[in-house]
């Protein structure tokens, strides 16, 4: 294995780690909001495991789709993947400035299985789009989805536990930071 291959592999691992963190910030932000409403430790564990599961499943589906599209379209897919990340990043930043009462959570009881599934899926749907983009570039599929799942689960449990301890107002910034990171990577992929 040459030096260039090692540097490329290290660059991919760093990119995966940063993107996993960025996607995990969405779960962290939502976790803080739910935690501030009050949540039992059993529900913290259950919801975090569901978030981790969906943070593995959704990017895996996206990676498979992105890899297939990448083989079909060649270099055009790199620009399209970057554009998708830019759009996703802008969307996350804009959503972070909407009302602080988390309208997507209204009507869902986070203590029920159905509520936990919907909330976990809602914070993991971004991972599908990122997975589509990464399917063009990433060769370490297992490492990528496991990093996304581990980071999503850990960020979720951290947010839920922090939310139990602090007052309102902390959780709105996580999604904006995550969106800005994805926007940056999208621009990097394009240029």
Q: What pLDDT is recorded for position 53?
A: 95
Q: Which residues contact 127 (CB under 8 A, 6 or more apart)?
A: 23, 54, 55, 58, 59, 62, 148, 152
The residue extents of the domains of the chain are 3-190
Greatest Cα-to-Cα distance within the chain, rounded to the nearest angstrom:
55
Residues present in the chain in total: 191
Non-local (6+) Cβ contacts of 179 within 8 A are 22, 88, 89, 90, 91, 92, 93, 94, 95, 96
Mean pLDDT, contiguous 10-residue spans, the chain (191 residues): 54 83 82 76 92 91 75 63 72 69 51 81 77 70 87 92 68 62 71 73
What is the model's pLDDT at position 4? 46
- The pTM for the full model equals 0.68
| Alpha helices (H) in 135-171, listed in sequence order | 141-165
- First and final C-alpha spacing in the chain: 27
Residues 6+ apart with CB under 8 A from 152: 20, 23, 24, 27, 51, 52, 54, 55, 123, 124, 127
Q: What is the DSSP letter of 158?
A: H
């Amino acid at each position: 294995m040459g030096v260039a291959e090692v540097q490329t592999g290290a660059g991919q691992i760093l990119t995966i780690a940063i993107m996993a963190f960025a996607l995990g910030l969405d779960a962290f932000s939502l976790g803080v909001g739910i935690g501030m409403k009050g949540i039992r430790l059993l529900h913290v564990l259950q919801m975090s495991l569901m978030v981790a599961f969906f943070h593995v499943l959704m990017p895996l589906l996206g990676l498979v789709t992105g890899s297939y599209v990448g083989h079909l379209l060649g270099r055009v897919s790199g620009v399209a993947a970057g554009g998708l990340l830019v759009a996703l990043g802008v969307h996350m930043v804009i959503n972070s400035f909407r009302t602080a009462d988390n309208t997507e959570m209204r009507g869902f009881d986070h203590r029920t299985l159905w509520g936990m599934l919907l909330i976990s899926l809602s914070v993991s749907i971004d991972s599908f789009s990122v997975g589509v983009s990464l399917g063009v570039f990433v060769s370490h599929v297992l490492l990528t989805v496991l990093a996304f799942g581990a980071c999503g689960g850990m960020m979720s449990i951290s947010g839920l536990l922090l939310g139990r301890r602090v007052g309102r107002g902390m959780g709105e910034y996580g999604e904006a930071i995550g969106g800005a990171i994805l926007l940056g990577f999208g621009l990097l992929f394009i240029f």
